[in-house]
Structure 1
């Protein structure tokens, strides 16, 4: 019946599946946003340090998240084939790989200070960021496990629970932050370290919630029974798909992390403005990311059913939805820049005028890359649904490392455009990725599903 689904039917199905995922991503984003807003109230130096630390953390986290994202299309395809055993096997080995990766990254989080200094960050900002990472870094273990289990639930179209668990985590983070950063309700005033503790507590609460749900509501998958038993065949399959997905994520996040390091070379006020503008741009990106996840699930289902028409119509529908979001965001960023930036600062902040001036320019650049940023993440979602990851990884690496990062440096420092130039490089890298990845999907989708049918 899906072969004859109309475009309105696709729009409706994507919205039902995708809106809770969008909400979940926004709630997850709210965790970082809460840190940024409260630390912005606490002080510019604290905000600059956590902006730097967060960029460093997410470079490591998002590579590991590739294993969780690999689970999503594998479970979606297995569900379409009604293969319960494959659902359990892929999810369990995704958890294994996430645990192994988290253990390997802990030394980089614990001894981050010399790395940040080598990247020529201001000494005091680097010191504070490294202290934050020594605590917040432990959160990478539960965070990666949560990524796998959320992908498992989303692929089974249980997106409502993913949303509510993430909302609960965001509330826990906000309350813990408010208590520990400022010393409210009798708690000690810990500043940056309070934000780090809140981050770890939040990730642990998320993990407990998602594990309890999976065990109680989906006992048929027995995810944690004999968890220690290896499944090397499926381990290799998840690794084969997860590594290129992780490297693709790493390529993109390293583009943004490098931009944060470059902003740090200019000074802590531009770095703070960059953190604010990037948080606002990231908020809208969460909508595209939720739609991309929905695209992955529906493409994986289409692959499992060998349904080419369903795949192509769904791809057109989700791309149109992403385009509509981009247009609305462009209007918002161009007309409401100062009110949006002001949300992150106290009215009497002495650097307020400088941050507003720099941040408004950066938001104008963010408006430029909305279209291409949305397009590239939708294309990636569709390709992941087809379990096509190696060539997209190469395309992403070329776009972000060969085009985006050099362009940021060239326009920012050689041409003397400072922050605006750095963000222009982001635009060019994302635009290159969007063109290459969309071309890859539309040239490959017919062949992939046709071949699987044969």
Structure 2
């Protein structure tokens, strides 16, 4: 009996990857091993959306327009939910770091509760899509087609949020490769589902946008069930018994998820809203400017996936050290992640600066005369984007590190002020008052991100004097 207990304890220590003494090299390796599958999984997640967009385009312009319209409505609510539910990540990491495995189960259980309740609320909120779009001045046809897609795709919120809870548990245990494999499998299932249901192949009815919506819900359900099956059958996760007493409430933990997660959701919504507003400003300048902005933004979004994955690893590594009450571990986990994120964005900064034509050429054919103006504009926008690559990477990774300390409320206020109190006004002033056009709008984006990055880095550096490291609260 004692031998088995000793083996279990040794396995637990190995599982959590918590050294007794944190060393820079070991932390760098641990963060890299944790982060790289998350990075690729983020890119793969983008590929899921890209697959839908491509196949909607195959149906025709009106289907693509309606599908894009529907996605534009669902996306902010989805991102808000992702931010809220992601609060379980630092809570799980801190519990594992403290060897409080009962708290892991309770956090996962309450994460499931929050996921289901939040998804039900969002479904009810945006169910009457057609009326929303008609009120916004969209055509009857586009509004009706968009509603068809939403009525079948919106149900994916339940599975998506539930999968995120399990993804946080897998990440905290260092099983990020499993997340990557599941996400890659999701791309295949989504592509096959779209091909069968949207176009009526392999004996299935041709359902067009309805088929795309069904496929979206189905693939997210499959991803959740695969993750759940893996966790329930793997020996490392059996100790958590995550489905035991699933009906039992834990109100303190339930509201703790909201306390940590609501600011994260608001912060994601504020940042997404800033870029949406910038797109609107670009539309005021003209079609060429808007097309160039879309290309430059796509390049920046792909580059952003790297520090975003690293930020998720930062949350876990800092959370583990915080739960273990290791101040040195918190320091090294945070700074290693910040250096990794900004270091990578330094390479994209150079790429945007020295080879923008190559990058833009993937989206706009330089041989076509009609592409010459938007191509040149996109190159000029990437020059500005190169300047904020470092601060963009710095702000998202440092945000992840602060999240590992359950510090989300003040960062939310900082982000909202920076994006809407500084970034957007500067974009308008530089773009229209000074007459700098699209480059001025991008300078405003850079200014907002730079402010957030500087404040977040200072906040992490001053974490102890600001009282962010409070072991009594764990």
- TM-score norm. by structure 2 comes to 0.84
1: CA distance, partners of 2:215 / 2:74 = 15
CA contact (8 A) 2:314 2:337 kept: yes
2: CA distance, partners of 1:17 / 1:183 = 41
Q: Note if 1:212 corresponds to 2:248.
A: no
Taking a change above 3 Å as real, the CA distance of residues 414 and 118 of structure 1, as seen in their structure-2 partners, is: farther
Note the C-alpha offset of 1:51. 4.8
Note the C-alpha offset of 1:115. 4.1
Bigger radius of gyration: 2
1: CA distance, partners of 2:46 / 2:117 = 25
CA contact (8 A) 2:322 2:469 kept: no
1: CA distance, partners of 2:56 / 2:355 = 23
- TM-score norm. by structure 1 comes to 0.87
Q: Specify which of 320, 324, 345 is matched with residue 305 of structure 1.
A: 324
Residue matched to 2:185: 168
Taking a change above 3 Å as real, the CA distance of residues 11 and 374 of structure 1, as seen in their structure-2 partners, is: same
Post-superposition Cα deviations, 1:3-54, rounded to whole Å, max 9, x if no partner, equal: 6433222211111111111122121122123334455676666656555543
2: CA distance, partners of 1:453 / 1:384 = 17
Residue matched to 2:110: 93
Question: Matched residue of 1:221: which SS?
Answer: coil
Note the C-alpha offset of 1:435. 1.3
Taking a change above 3 Å as real, the CA distance of residues 16 and 323 of structure 1, as seen in their structure-2 partners, is: same
Residue matched to 2:409: 390
Taking a change above 3 Å as real, the CA distance of residues 166 and 310 of structure 1, as seen in their structure-2 partners, is: same
CA contact (8 A) 1:68 1:148 kept: yes
Residue matched to 2:242: 223
CA contact (8 A) 1:52 1:261 kept: no
Taking a change above 3 Å as real, the CA distance of residues 184 and 374 of structure 1, as seen in their structure-2 partners, is: farther
Residue matched to 2:123: 106
CA contact (8 A) 1:75 1:156 kept: no
- Please, which runs of 5 or more residues in structure 2 have no aligned partner? 1-17
Q: Note if 1:84 corresponds to 2:98.
A: no
Note the C-alpha offset of 1:436. 1.4
Structure 1 stretch 14-23 or stretch 42-51: which is displaced more? 42-51
For residues 271-286 of structure 1, the aligned pairs below 5 Å read 271=290, 273-286=292-305
CA contact (8 A) 2:296 2:382 kept: yes
Note the C-alpha offset of 1:365. 3.5
Question: Matched residue of 1:210: which SS?
Answer: helix
Structure 1 stretch 310-319 or stretch 68-77: which is displaced more? 310-319
Residue matched to 1:380: 399
Residue matched to 1:294: 313
For residues 340-355 of structure 1, the aligned pairs below 5 Å read 340-344=359-363
Note the C-alpha offset of 1:340. 3.9
RMSD, aligned CA: 3.3
Q: Specify which of 321, 330, 333 is matched with residue 340 of structure 2.
A: 321
Taking a change above 3 Å as real, the CA distance of residues 354 and 240 of structure 1, as seen in their structure-2 partners, is: same
Q: Note if 1:248 corresponds to 2:267.
A: yes
Post-superposition Cα deviations, 1:376-410, rounded to whole Å, max 9, x if no partner, equal: 11111111100111111111111112122333344
2: CA distance, partners of 1:134 / 1:366 = 37
Residue matched to 2:90: 73
Q: Note if 1:25 corresponds to 2:25.
A: no
Greater fraction of residues in helix: 1
Question: Matched residue of 2:154: which SS?
Answer: helix
Structure 1 stretch 274-283 or stretch 69-78: which is displaced more? 274-283
Question: Matched residue of 1:21: which SS?
Answer: helix
Structure 1 stretch 128-137 or stretch 342-351: which is displaced more? 342-351
1: CA distance, partners of 2:139 / 2:443 = 24
Q: Note if 1:12 corresponds to 2:29.
A: yes
For residues 56-205 of structure 1, the aligned pairs below 5 Å read 56-116=73-133, 129-179=146-196, 194-205=211-222
Note the C-alpha offset of 1:277. 3.5
2: CA distance, partners of 1:362 / 1:126 = 33
Question: Matched residue of 1:444: which SS?
Answer: coil
Higher relative contact order (CA 8 A, sep 6+): 1
Structure 1 stretch 57-66 or stretch 403-412: which is displaced more? 403-412
Taking a change above 3 Å as real, the CA distance of residues 140 and 278 of structure 1, as seen in their structure-2 partners, is: farther
Post-superposition Cα deviations, 1:106-165, rounded to whole Å, max 9, x if no partner, equal: 134323345456666788766665554343322222111111211121122221211111
1: CA distance, partners of 2:444 / 2:149 = 29
Structure 1 stretch 30-39 or stretch 119-128: which is displaced more? 119-128
